[in-house]
Amino acid sequence: MTTRVALVGAGAMGTIMARDIYPQLGGEVEVVAVVDRDPIRAHSLAAPLGARPYASLADALAHEELDAVDIRIPHAGHADAAVEALDQGLHVLVEKPLALTLADCHRVERAAAAAGRMAAVAENYPHLRAVRAARAAIEAGTVGEVLALRTTRAYTLDGVWAESAWRQGDQPMAGLLWDQATHHISLLRALAGPITAVAAHRTTRRTTPGAEAYALDLTFDSGLVAQSLYCWGTPSRAVEVEATVLGSQGMIDVAVDYEAHGGGARLVRGADVTAISEVECYYDSHALIVRDWAAAIRGGGSPLVTPTSATADVAVVIAAQTSLAAGGAPVQVQTAGAAVSP
Ligand SMILES: NC(=O)c1ccc[n+]([C@@H]2O[C@H](COP(=O)([O-])OP(=O)(O)OC[C@H]3O[C@@H](n4cnc5c(N)ncnc54)[C@H](O)[C@@H]3O)[C@@H](O)[C@H]2O)c1
């Protein structure tokens, strides 16, 4: 049976979903409505899909038989939109970061539990073939004992991503940490488990317009440590080794390619480099995310990235911001929450 979806948000990410992802998903899911406050944007994405444009989710609900909502609006609107849809009995897929506060994350968790509907978060990294292969290799003992991890996300914010005024500037949701850190936190958690503490530092003196740089020192529940580096303002590599697992018998590199199928995981021992995953493009993961969500809706299982998992990513970013405000002091990640009781 086809899942009838309203795509909420017809900006940069909504365009990728409508133009590149949903058309390749065949009969599994069908976008029947496109919602955006900007009617021109809603119309321009709806028309090629044969869907109808709406200015609000309430308007779409009033006119369409919907099963589910795919939310691709700026971070600050995620929790309200997700809760609105869940309260109306719809399944929800919502972009990362799930929300900007733990209270809002828990609000989404509670709404999903109360509605008995499938809520998933469009967090890409646990879906990447490279990350899954790296995790399997770690579990198989391929690199011996894991000793430490590092990640790097470095590029210049340009093109459509630089056009959204909310992404940079003074709004609480602006900036590199809210835009990218939940991605790498989810990557690191997928490889090494829960993170318990973070000390965060930022580059303070810079003249390059739009530049931001942060370094996070992370401690895992297992006792492992990781360093996670984020930079806006440097030209990106075609294929970046975004994560490296340092083990007693070798390393695993997780390479990510946003333009072509050059990403993948590699086992590195001295000069020996062996591919351990299929090659992929980062954007392949968006189709995997929707398929995973649609399968959970049909089959009743759990999607790979639940609101509870995404809440754990948000908790680390909030701890990092607390650490920045405290001059880089280590901060414990808040894990206990009021997810299912008010
Ligand atoms: N997972 C990924 O790889 C990835 C990549 C890019 C962006 N994102 C996420 O996607 C989200 C959207 O980013 P973007 O770059 O597309 O933003 P954008 O500014 O390009 O587009 C957002 C759109 O949402 C509309 N909008 C805002 N609030 C709305 C509301 N309440 N109801 C209806 N429409 C509303 C705006 O009019 C705009 O058209 C962000 O949260 C971002 O983190 C994820």
pLDDT tens digit sequence for 290-333: 999 999 999 988 999 999 999 999 999 999 999 999 999 999 99
On whether both 216 and 320 belong to a single domain, the answer is yes
What confidence score (pLDDT) does residue 221 get? 97
The per-residue pLDDT for 173 is 95
* Total-model pTM: 0.97
Q: Is the CB of 137 under 6 A from ligand 1?
A: no
Residue 337's pLDDT band (boundaries 50, 70, 90)? low
Same domain, 204 and 106: no
User: Is residue 25 predicted with pLDDT exceeding 50?
Assistant: yes
If we measure between CA atoms, which residue out of 244, 236, 237, 298 comes closest to residue 267?
Answer: 244
Model pLDDT, residue 338? 43
Average pLDDT over residues 198-223: 95
Same domain, 235 and 98: no
Q: Which strands form 29-35's sheet, in the order they lie side by side? A: 52-54, 29-35, 3-8, 68-71, 91-95, 119-122
Residues 6+ apart with CB under 8 A from 297: 3, 67, 68, 91, 118
Among the candidates 103, 122, 141, a domain finishes at: 122
User: Residue 45 maps to which CATH number?
Assistant: 3.40.50.720
Report which ligand 1 atom has the smallest distance to the Cα of 15: 16
**What is the reported pLDDT for 339?**
43
Could you give the percent of the chain with pLDDT greater than 90? Answer: 94
89 domain-assigned: yes
The per-residue pLDDT for range 93-140, each reduced to its tens digit, is: 999 999 999 999 999 999 999 999 999 999 999 999 999 999 999 999
**How many angstroms separate the CA atoms of 177 and 307, rounded?**
19
Q: Residue 54: its pLDDT value, please?
A: 98
Distance CA 171, CA 163 (A): 15
Q: Last residue of some domain: 81, 105, 122?
A: 122
Q: What is the pLDDT of residues 66-80, one digit of tens each?
A: 999 999 999 999 999
CA 148 to ligand 1 centroid distance, Å:
34
Indicate the residue among 98, 122, 146 that finishes a domain. Answer: 122
Q: What is the mean pLDDT of residues 220-228?
A: 98
**Total number of residues shown for the chain:** 342
Q: Assess contact for 12 and 161: CB atoms under 8 A.
A: yes
Cβ of 36 less than 6 Å from ligand 1: yes
Quote the ligand 1 centre to 161 CA distance (angstroms).
Answer: 10
Q: Which two tokens stand for residue 298?
A: 């049909």
- Check pocket membership of 219 for ligand 1, CB cut-off 6 A: no
Residues 62 and 160 in one domain: no
How many domains does the chain contain in total?
Answer: 2
Closest among 210, 217, 255 to 232, alpha carbons compared: 210
- CB of residue 127 inside a 6 A radius of ligand 1: no
153 in the same domain as 109: no
Q: For 260, phi and psi rounded to 5 degrees?
A: -145, -175
What pLDDT does residue 238 have? 96
Residue 342: what pLDDT? 30
For 130, the domain range is 125-285+315-332
- Is the minimum distance from the CB of 53 to ligand 1 under 6 angstroms? no
